[in-house]
Chains A and B, each alone.
Chain A
């Protein structure tokens, strides 16, 4: 280690990569060891992510900057690939790690024994997510997307079964096609500009020749389509509900952030490429983003009202949250201002944590009598495992007392956060978005009012849908009370605790997000930083005069 601070930025990619690779060497029966390693990795990720966030907050990166740069291979931009950790990236890293730990703990209830290499694939998923949040290069982004998608294919199929295989088939086909669109977009942009570095692109957009601008826009649209598929934006979202329903509970809980990767990339790229400094391209695509986002919210709220089961409803709640964020993104691009974006980020974190908690609650709530042990024995049978009981039986662990009360309270917490009712953070996020939209001078009033109407109706639909399920499950329940283990309910409580903490510390959180939003509004600082990022001395001998 020459300078620990310097290499900290690559740690969120390296830690899960090495952990995942290490665990491939373990036999699948050593589940406790693998679980411990996996949890250790996730905890390390959390520590690193928080450290990055603190540095971004306190301007502690090299040169007193709030943004850290890491030159891979020690090549200066735009020749090498650069990793960039700014406030938004750090926030997403923290969010990823915070979702990973509860999902892993939950999987200890027996999910991780339903198939092979669960822990390794989970780590590779984390690696892809972290890489996508950190990278500053378009093609590198493609590679990290493929890493996280490949891991998610495996995780979705985890546990096997007909529903999962069918959903997996559709999911893989859709994502392969979307990846091809991504490649077309990337290569078009490269053909026009000759660079794939986001910062370099951001500098070049304003000066593009008028004859080349349409091609550049076409490339951006192709790429955007790929991300919209991943974000589950209507009409590209029909794969999403079945896929999320089919996934095992801890997997679905982690998938809650996967749509937001698409949103994150769209936000990052539109702010860099089509921000106010982009000359003739400024604001490109904002109408489309607003329209698609609103259509998605409308589709999601209809889906919530029409859903019969909690699984499908939760998946449509993911759509509502994606659509809201995309609309906010479009409005910000159209000049909505920093406060609007900060509200959107707050909403993002709150809704991701709440949907993740809901996905974890889903299975205990709809569990038939007999508990998880019976179900696991069944799936293990179908999967062809000789002996599911090979390392003791942690699933006969501590069952919680007052099951229905605890489940009901946790469900109520999710409901409040998702529907945007006071006092939890969903309410604060929505208020921040709506008040910023109302206070913005650049937005057409009709647009603002339709946003307000849509968000409030979506909240109402969420409330109606979830309350209906709640009444069926908790008040009209018949038969035996399901047996729920403490390791299953603890992650949900932890996630809800995060929401509570965010609510109490809302002012500080929002302040952080406001500075993140204002940094996103100044892409020139970002690109200047990437170009000025100094090569580190003393790691390698200076290359001789090659170029």
Chain B
């Protein structure tokens, strides 16, 4: 499972970075989305990988912490998803505004002379 997860993170991050460096705004935004998926998976993996372990412990008495997943990275991922969702939506609006004002979807607002 570690291998699959790290490969998934790697592929997502690599595609994201490549797209981020492309000249079209749409490619940039998809690249940012892919990168944020990679980062979210990465945060998740930092709580150590467990299968079928609940993050919440029962009340009272002795509980064995090793039988539970670390809840903190899960909440961090949740926050990060919300924030990146909001900022991506904002970016999308600016992107559309830029397309409307400049008439091109190039990130510099003008096509490169060839």
Interface residues of A (CB under 8 A from B): 139, 143, 146, 149-150, 153-154, 157, 160, 162, 165-166, 168-170, 172-173, 176-177, 179-180, 183-184, 186-188, 190-191, 196, 545-546
Contacts and interface: CB of A to CB of B under 8 A. Distances in A.
Interface residues of B, number: 35
B43 A165 contact: no
B32 A187 contact: no
A146 B83 contact: yes
Given A173-B20, A179-B83, 20 more contacts: A139-B76, A150-B86, A153-B87, A157-B97, A162-B101, A165-B94, A165-B97, A165-B109, A166-B98, A166-B102, A166-B108, A169-B91, A176-B91, A179-B87, A180-B32, A183-B42, A186-B43, A190-B47, A190-B76, A546-B60
A183 B84 CA distance: 11
A173 B43 contact: no
Interface in B64-114: 72-73, 76, 79-80, 83-84, 86-88, 90-91, 94-95, 97-98, 101-102, 107-109
Contact of A183 (B39, B45, B87, B91): B39
Dominant secondary structure of chain A at its interface with chain B: helix
A170 B35 contact: no
A201 B28 CA distance: 35
Contacts of B45: 191
Contact of A187 (B73, B86, B91): B73
Which 8 residue pairs across A and B have the least CB separation, nearest first?
A: A191-B46, A187-B43, A187-B46, A166-B109, A180-B39, A146-B83, A165-B98, A183-B39
A114 B9 CA distance: 43
Contacts, number: 92
A115 to B, nearest CB: 12
Contacts of A160: 97
Nearest to A196: B72
Contact of A172 (B20, B91, B102, B109): B91
A234 B113 CA distance: 28
A176 B94 contact: no
Contacts of B109: 162, 165-166, 169
A179 B86 CA distance: 13
B32 A176 contact: yes
A190 B102 CA distance: 44
B108 A176 contact: no
A172 B96 CA distance: 14
Nearest to A382: B101
A190 B45 CA distance: 11
B98 A150 contact: no
B76 A180 contact: no
Given A169-B95, A176-B84, A184 B39 contact: yes
Interface in B14-60: 20, 25, 28, 32, 35-36, 39, 42-43, 45-47, 59-60
